Structure 1
């Protein structure tokens, strides 16, 4: 039996949502994080206070943009970052 290696090609590069600054309204930001990650309010608040924090990892670009928009609406600073390609897929 011979081994075959297949390279997967994706058009949609996964993105991470990174919270860089919760701003003044920390509890409002924690509520948004709670909805995004389905965490308790306490865990959400802890996550929000430890910045920079990855809120969502490996999501499609549209979902990442929607999450960043929701965080910015309540006064937080957030950004999307493309996930780097794993070492074993690089030429």
Structure 2
């Protein structure tokens, strides 16, 4: 079955959370990233200082919106995007 792919059809298109700017309160954003991702403080700080970066992927739309809201409350700019279609599924 190697080389064969199965496309599952579902109601919700998976989303990803993208950090576009950390803003002025970087440490607050680092704490939110740490809470959302479960990463260490050091890894969270690396992500916060190198935008744009995808923080979370394969999320339902509601969870992605909640994560973006938490990041914006901490002073960051973030957005929820629909995940792109993989190349092997494109016509």
TM-score by length of 2: 0.87
For structure 1, the residue ranges without an aligned partner over 5 or more in a row are none
Give how far 1:6 is off.
5.6
TM-superposition CA deviations, 1:30-65 (whole Å, max 9, x none): 000000010111110111001001110111111100
Which residue in the other structure is 1:80 paired with?
80
* Counterpart in the other structure of 2:41: 41
**Structure 1 Cα separation of the partners of residues 30 and 6 of structure 2:** 42
The alpha-carbon distance between structure 1 residues 25 and 9, as it changes in their structure 2 partners (threshold 3 A), is: same
Residue aligning to 1:64: 64
Instruction: Tell me which stretches of 4 or more aligned residues in structure 1 moved more than 4 Å.
Output: none
- Report the Cα distance in structure 1 between the residues aligned to 2:35 and 2:7, rounded to whole angstroms: 35
3-state SS, counterpart of residue 19 of structure 2: strand
Which has the larger Rg? 1
Listed as ranges, the gaps of 5+ residues in structure 2 are none
Supply the distance in 1 between the matched residues of 2:6 and 2:26 (Cα, whole angstroms): 46
2: CA distance, partners of 1:7 / 1:39 = 31
If the length of structure 1 is used for normalisation, what is the TM-score? 0.87
Pairwise CA RMSD: 1.7
